[in-house]
Amino acid sequence: MTDAAACWNRLEELPMKTLKALFAADANRVDRFTDSLALPGGNVLFDWSKTHLSSDLITAFEALAQAAGFAGAREVMLTGGIANPTEGRAAEHTAQRGMGADESVALADAFHMRMRGLVEAIHEGLLGPVKHLIHIGIGGSALGPALAVDALARPTAEFRAPVDVHVVSNIDGNALEAAFEVCDPATTMIAVASKTFTTIETMTNAASAIQWLEEAGVSDAYGRVVALTASPDKAVEWGVDETRVLPFSESVGGRYSLWSSIGFPVAMALGWDGFAQFLEGAAAVDRHFADTEGFANLPLRAAFADLMYVQLRGCQTRAGFAYDERLALFPDYLQQLEMESNGKSVTADGKPLGRNSAPITWGGVGTDAQHAVFQLLHQGTIEVPVDFIAVKQPGHDLDPAHHAILLTNCFAQGAALMAGAESVDGARAYPGNRPSATILCDALTPATLGALIAFHEHRTFANAVLLGINPFDQFGVELGKKIANEIAAGEGEGFDPSTEALLAAAGLKR
């Protein structure tokens, strides 16, 4: 039996107390389970006290982390070693924020300077008037930019973004048409964001954007395109001017690429200083993650709780609710980060995992979700660990009552999930003992958003290491793409009768 297997056996044997009992037994539980990270843009508080972690479980999870080689795996990732063994490469997103192999950090800095030059030239009007940016990409090339722009570039009394950013991902032409509808071709730039510069949705949308510009009489449509890619040669071959190609390294994974030139729309909307603060917020979490051991390490602590719920309590999902409209896209971002990273069935060396891996990540925005899905969280038969994310300072100038009600509801939900309520009438009884964790930011700034995202990247990594899986590949998305390509090319052996009938019904008979 491996050391890790023995640790899992130990974990499975440990009794688990109710949340009420855990609080009753430890007057300092809130202090022990709550920590604050100080960031230039305001503190971020992490409260994991309303989870079922106990001292015994923490000790056993710390032993598991040791047996699974957590410190070594972290060192490999943070120094540019081969953290992604199935693809034989490093995972160098932290190098974009200053932590990694010297040459990778230097290269990331050089790419950032190139991006900064272009962003500032556009802001200074050197490329003609630019009022809109249509950012075309999908998955990791779209979800991060969409989240960051929506969170940080909303107009306020003090701020208006110099350029309106419209993120388009879906191949469904309705998505691109909606962007065309609100953009003037004479003042619009197109960012084509694709690590590989081959993704069919992105390349098809990019071609249609060129056509839209040309049909509107723009003389040099390709001159309006900026490419954000790890395949610069392909971008040039496609028609992008070499000076408008913003490269990033192959070793930056797609869903971890927001920090690279994929963040171009964020810098366009916020200005370079804002983007630099975003990187700095993430870098502060990197330093915490690199330098803190055991339970005190916040992403590792969160991973202990995540694994406790999936492995020891049989939970199959985890929900995240952003109690802030500006973070409405955060659950979508997390879905890709966690499910594409850790939705695996084999270990890093290809052996069957033998246990569940990532739960299904889902969620929504508060308070809307309370009136839609919280019924199941409070009284359903399936336990769902919940994360709440809230921000102390509102992002609007309306009556402060709005924000007070928002935050009060957020904290009330966590309290109700834990406390429950008895009733002689079964329909009105709440079992309680339902877990939640809360992240509270002082303010939503570029630095705090960067920190929030980096925290979740490292939480995802910590989960993977403790399970023994590789979070940096995504072979699971390939088969569907291959079949779609075969259908489009009229190739393939013939599919199952249901698929053949659907193709025929849609007029796509080969």
Ligand X SMILES: O=P(O)(O)OC[C@H]1O[C@](O)(CO)[C@@H](O)[C@@H]1O
- Point out which residues bind ligand X (CB under 6 A): 138-141, 194-196, 199, 202, 254-255, 340, 474, 477
Structure tokens at 29: 């539980």
In the set 280, 340, 383, 457, the catalytic residue is: 340
User: At its nearest, how many Å lie between ligand X and the CB of residue 481?
Assistant: 7
In the set 181, 371, 422, 491, the catalytic residue is: 371
User: At its nearest, how many Å lie between ligand X and the CB of residue 366?
Assistant: 28
Question: Measured from the CB atom, is 138 or 319 closer to ligand X?
Answer: 138
Rounded distance, CA 293 to CA 304, Å?
Answer: 13
Question: Measured from the CB atom, is 159 or 475 closer to ligand X?
Answer: 475
Give residues with Cβ within 8 angstroms of 206, minimum separation 6.
Answer: 136, 190, 192, 225, 238
Question: Measured from the CB atom, is 230 or 327 closer to ligand X?
Answer: 230
Rounded distance, CA 412 to CA 418, Å?
Answer: 10
Question: Measured from the CB atom, is 26 or 332 closer to ligand X?
Answer: 332
Query: Is 371 an annotated catalytic residue?
Result: yes
* CA proximity to 59, closest of 328, 405, 294: 294
Question: Measured from the CB atom, is 194 or 361 closer to ligand X?
Answer: 194
Asked if residue 110 lies in contact with residue 131, where contact means CB atoms within 8 angstroms, the answer is no
Rounded distance, CA 203 to CA 435, Å?
Answer: 43
* CA proximity to 163, closest of 145, 149, 144: 149
Query: Is 135 an annotated catalytic residue?
Result: no
User: At its nearest, how many Å lie between ligand X and the CB of residue 482?
Assistant: 11
In the set 131, 396, 481, 482, the catalytic residue is: 481
Question: Measured from the CB atom, is 94 or 445 closer to ligand X?
Answer: 94
How many angstroms from the chain centroid is the CA of residue 482?
26
Residue appearing with tokens 């999902």 = 317
Give residues with Cβ within 8 angstroms of 319, minimum separation 6.
Answer: 361, 362, 363, 364, 373, 377, 384, 385, 386, 387
User: At its nearest, how many Å lie between ligand X and the CB of residue 247?
Assistant: 13
User: At its nearest, how many Å lie between ligand X and the CB of residue 333?
Assistant: 12
Structure tokens at 107: 């290269």
Give residues with Cβ within 8 angstroms of 439, minimum separation 6.
Answer: 44, 45, 46, 47, 387, 388, 389, 390, 452, 455
Asked if residue 416 lies in contact with residue 464, where contact means CB atoms within 8 angstroms, the answer is no
Question: Measured from the CB atom, is 208 or 409 closer to ligand X?
Answer: 208
Work out the burial of residue 398: count CB atoms within 10 Å of its CB; fewer than 13 is exposed, 13-18 middle, 19 or more buried: exposed
Question: Measured from the CB atom, is 51 or 257 closer to ligand X?
Answer: 257
User: At its nearest, how many Å lie between ligand X and the CB of residue 199?
Assistant: 3
Dihedral angle of Cα 479, 484, 490, 496, to the nearest 10 degrees = 70
Rounded distance, CA 352 to CA 471, Å?
Answer: 15
Work out the burial of residue 344: count CB atoms within 10 Å of its CB; fewer than 13 is exposed, 13-18 middle, 19 or more buried: buried
User: At its nearest, how many Å lie between ligand X and the CB of residue 335?
Assistant: 12
Start-to-end CA span in the chain (Å): 53
User: At its nearest, how many Å lie between ligand X and the CB of residue 330?
Assistant: 17
- Would you please indicate which residues are annotated as catalytic (active-site) residues? 340, 371, 481
